[in-house]
Amino acid sequence: MINDSSTADNRTPSPPYGYSRVCTHSRAQQVHIVAEFHAHKIRPSRIAYRVGIDIALIEALIAGEEEPELFPRLVAYYRRQRYHQRMRDATVKRGIAQYETQQKIEKEFHSDIEL
């Protein structure tokens, strides 16, 4: 089938790379959201896609170009929060499974701190 310009294309256009919705959050909220997602090891392109935050801002925050003092503190806060939540969730398991899960969580947490 030949596609000529007279044929109307009624398909929905794809959103630009990294975006799926319009961001309705303030700049301060965006910094917090990016820090929380980054602490949960979500890729920058996925953050932009899910929340609509400009990918350039996300990458600048992660690189330390924007909010160089606040952003690392927020990421550390959200990592500690994630660590504690995962440890609470690990108490559902019993015995060796619980111990191994907690050891894995601690190892991941300490390796994240060193980054």
How many residues are listed for the chain in this entry?
A: 115
- CA terminus-to-terminus distance, the chain: 54
Each residue of 75-98: pLDDT tens digit?
Answer: 999 999 998 898 888 888 888 888
In SS3 terms, 9-47 reads as: CCCCCCCCCCCCCCCCCCHHHHHHHHHHHHHCCCCHHHH
Each residue of 40-65: pLDDT tens digit?
Answer: 989 988 888 888 888 889 999 999 99
Each residue of 100-110: pLDDT tens digit?
Answer: 888 888 888 88
